[in-house]
Amino acid sequence: MKNESSYAVVEIGGKQYKVAPGQAVEVDRLGVPQGQRLEFERVLLIKDGDEVTIGKPFIEGAKVVATSLGEIKGKKLIVFKYKAKTRYRRKKGHRQIYSKILVNEIMGAKKEA
């Protein structure tokens, strides 16, 4: 990460990711075209310098703004089924598709007086 003093923990597709401004993150496929602006409002934690805000479970009014960089394929996984002494062997490959996003900014909750 470029700036360790400012980051957020956000939920995207049922998984939690630690993101910072300017960071590119691979998340499960979102199905959005390249260049589209995304907003994630399920923010669990924001750290800005020494100030830490924790949600219960999410922070009201906070969001993470990102841009889609397109879809990429992950590393190939081999699925091999085998049963001894029965001549049973099955080999299959799988490549998961991920969406790559670039985090533009982290917007914190609105402060109330």
Task: Parse the chain into domains and list their residue ranges.
Answer: 6-73+99-107
- Residuewise pLDDT in 10s, the chain (113 residues): 344 679 999 999 999 999 999 999 999 999 999 999 999 999 999 999 899 999 999 999 999 999 999 999 999 999 999 999 999 999 999 999 999 999 999 998 765 43
Calpha distance 61→29 (Å, rounded): 25
Helix (H, G, I), strand (E, B) or coil at 66: strand
- Which residues partner with 51 through β-bridges? 48
- pLDDT attached to residue 1: 39
Q: What is the pLDDT of residue 113?
A: 38
Task: Give the Cα separation of 86 and 73 in Å (integer).
Answer: 35
Q: What is the pTM of this model?
A: 0.82
Q: In this predicted structure, what is the pLDDT of residue 37?
A: 97
